[in-house]
Amino acid sequence: MKIAILNGSPRIGNTAAMVNAFAEGAKEAGHEVDILHVGKMKISGCLACEYCHSKGEGKCVQKDDMEKVMPAYKEADMIVYASPIYYFAMTAQLSAAIQRMYAIGKPEKATKAALLLSSASPNPFDSAIAAYKATAALSGMENVGIITAAGDENGSEVKMGEIRDFAKAL
């Protein structure tokens, strides 16, 4: 299947390591993987202008890097959201990319979703996980897995192996 990974981190660090481990496993299993570095993109928040639902016919009035993410929402069979925790939430960049999906309602083909989260402290994940689960359900995607890495788990061989195995089994 075609898997789009939306990496919400603005830097190459712990989240990128999780993304790479996932991509390795998924490719080994024969899946096509597209990594979108959303955290490095310029994506503004939704303006709630409703242009997309009127004259725009599904197109956003804002011309920014969301144009690079939209094809993934349209073509992917599975979407993986990956993010460091910033103040108990996914990054602002990834949140903006998720909220801008409003223009098309939901991904056109994707029926599966997964979440990769990285943090410094032991368990700041609850609110990001709750938002992800509700968004996936609303968007018609089944949650097939959530993997978190906290503190020393980041970059550890055990955690990277867990992620690789998870992706390989998809």
Q: Of residues 11, 44, 53, 142, which one binds ligand FMN by CB under 6 A?
A: 11
Q: Does 62 bind ligand FMN (CB under 6 A)?
A: no
DSSP state of 86: B
Compute the radius of gyration of the chain from its Cα atoms: 15
Sheet holding 112-119, edge to edge: 32-36, 2-7, 78-84, 112-119, 142-150
Residues 72-91 that bind ligand FMN (CB under 6 A): 84-88
Cβ proximity to ligand FMN: between 1 and 89 the closer is 89
- Stretch of 6-14, 29-37, 43-51, 64-72 contacting ligand FMN, by CB under 6 A: 6-14
Residues 126-165 that bind ligand FMN (CB under 6 A): 154
CB 83 within 8 A of CB 8: yes
Cβ proximity to ligand FMN: between 26 and 150 the closer is 150
Backbone φ and ψ of 38, nearest 5°: -60, -35
